[in-house]
Each structure stands twice: as C-alpha cells, then as structure tokens.
Amino acid sequence: MTPIPTFATLGAGPTILMLHGIGGGNLAFAPQVETFAAAGYRAVAWDMPGYGHSAPIEPYTFKGLAQSCIVLIEGLMHGQKSASVILLGHSMGGMVAQEVLARRPELVNRLILCGTSPAFGKPDGDWQRDFVAQRTAPLDAGQSMAEMADSLVPQMIGPGSLPEGVKLAKHCMAQVSPATYRRALQALVTFDRKANLPNIHVPTLLVAGEFDKNAPPAVMKKMAGQIAGSRYAELAGVGHLQNLEAPDEFDALVLDFLASSHKNLH
C-alpha cells in the first residue's frame, strides 16, 4: 500500500495541490500557501516521496511518484463534494502533474505547469548519463547539499529575483537528502509525456521565466501549443524558480487564471 506523503496545508475552499521540483520540499511553496489560503483556497504543498518526512518509494519512478500523488489527492478529497483538485507543478513537480493527468485525468479540474517540460531532453542514453553524472559530481566529491545549493541556485535565477526568495530556495535544497536527490535525478531523465499533451482537456496555465535555462520559454510556448485552449504567460526578469523569485507576480497570474477558469467551469 502506498503511504500518504506528508504535506503542509492552510485555508479552506477549493483544493490547490502544489508539487515542488527536485531541489524543493513543501517549503518551496511557503509564499503561495499563505497567499492562496488568504484568497479562499485550501492550499496544500506536498513533500515528494523521500523529501521532508515523506517515506521514499521503491522503485523511484514517475509511475510511483504519480501513484503517491493520487493517494494524497484521494485522501484530501475524501468526504468533499468535489473529488478533483487544482494541480500546480513546478519543474519535476510539473512532470509528476503530467503523469497524474495521464493516469487519472478525472482527479484534476485545472492544471498549472511552471518551469517544466513534457519530456527530458533526447533519450539517447549517453547525454542523460552525462547529465546525472554532472549533477551528482559535487556530492561524489564530498560536497553537502547546502554547498551544492549555494553554487546551483544562483545559476537558476534571473536578474530580477527577490533576494528572500533565493535564500528560501537555497534553504529548501540544503534540506534534500543526497540519496533522494540522486534517485530523483535518475527518474528525471526518463520522463516523456509529449504524446499525452493533446489529451489534456482541463483549463491549463503554463508559466515560464524569461531567463529559465532548464525549461526555456520557447519550450513552454511550444508545449502550450499542444494543449488545446491553454494559456501561456512569461514572467520577466526571473529564471527557473519563478514562484520564489517573483512571488507577487506569480501568485497574481495563478489567481487570475483560477478566477477566470472558474467562471468557465460553471
């Protein structure tokens, strides 16, 4: 049986479930949890399996991560009038969100994808092995996750990023277990849900950061073109960690999308 992952939650109303990236944790959405709760939502931010106090899973695959997320959604919606949630995924969390949608589309009523892509690069093996090796080299050389965060986070952000947000991003990454980070990287390079994009039929918002090198605006714009009726937005001055680099602008985009898509749902 899949254990329910741990999560942070605040507020009451329609449930918005936030899925963090590879260097995150529920704290990576701390600003959003507060803002969305204040705006009348039940804001939930999970710890992906192996993060925070969530039990790790074996094998560490997108199928398993999606199953953990499904168990959480079913647990959250138990006894609620609606059985579906608003799903917001950043980076690897956006990939988990796509996987959930491919497997259990009825559990999601709206989708927000931030700084993510529909597949991880070209599946030729060597390139992916090199990517994992490059990302884990500092750990192999004896660096801590905190030291890695200090060098990696500044490479991910844009020139207009909020210093407090960058600090929180480093703090989140420093808390990640090195073993989980390695497993997550190995899972990351296997992701490919490109073929499922045309099957996404819920209102969808895609948010790109102007300076995001991990999920460049061009990639996300192309992705939006594959999802019928989706909305694409780009945040100026920021990189990959949009929700922490420009929380006010990010939250306003999401809340505006939720308000307008809510009208269309009824």
Helix, strand, coil percentages in the chain from 3-state DSSP, rounded to 5: 50, 15, 35
What is the structure's pLDDT at 265?
52
What is the structure's pLDDT at 89?
98
Residues of the chain with pLDDT under 50: 266
Ramachandran quadrant class, 169 (left: phi over 0; alpha: psi -120 to 50; beta: rest): alpha
**C-alpha–C-alpha distance, residues 103 and 80, integer Å:** 21
What is the structure's pLDDT at 247?
98
Strands 42-46 and 85-90, sheet pairing: unpaired
The CB-based long-range contact list for 135-141 (8 Å cut-off, 24+ gap) reads 135/185, 136/181, 136/182, 136/185, 139/178, 139/181, 139/182
pTM metric for this prediction:
0.96
Domain 7-265, CATH: 3.40.50.1820
What is the structure's pLDDT at 266?
41
Q: How many CB atoms lie within 10 A of CB 85?
A: 24
